[in-house]
Structure 1
């Protein structure tokens, strides 16, 4: 009987070895291939993720550079607009000063013209009055020619006194 349990044990060992060989042929190789493929897929995914991360960092750097350029451009536009506004304000002030000077000069000329006109009228009236007074004093009749000569003479003398 001792022989019999050894035969069972031997059959079990033989079955186990056959099972291992069958597992190695039909299960181990496909499982190792599956694990190898899975490991390769994970490695490729990690490499792709790293490449995408690097590309994202590059895009971020490009975006930040573009944003910085846009800010600089906006600042430049603001500075140009400010300078243009200041230049325009200076031009408006200068034009206003020139217009005020022109109006003042025009007013001075008009005042001088009115003054000269008033002085001429005063001289004429003073001369006429003087001739009339002189005519009364002399009690004689002055003809138009003598009156005109006296007025001209009086205007000349009065002009010299007023100037």
Structure 2
């Protein structure tokens, strides 16, 4: 299939598909006339890349373990035999994903602390006015009676 069809099948734009190819996440075959040509395996890889990006990984993260992207899809839902250790005996997939998870945990902790500080500051300044208000269903600034 051509680039437009492959992009649509993966839920991407042709521009995003070209970008992923430029970054080494995919290698398109070329027709004799020079057009890019993609198969179902390429579409599956593009969906996997998009899913990983949506989950919080970066292009750089995915580049570091691009060699194992297709293993997870061919394992039939079971944990694939990834191997893929680098020269120092490290598994880049595990290291990168554990680092991202730890980063998210730190961000959640910081945001929770910030939320608690704001809640305390509002309670100190305005009493229980904001503690009893559901911000979705209640107007936090009622008109004076």
Q: TM-score, normalised by structure 1?
A: 0.27
Query: Which has the higher Rg, Structure 1 or Structure 2?
Result: 1
**Which structure carries more helix by proportion?**
1
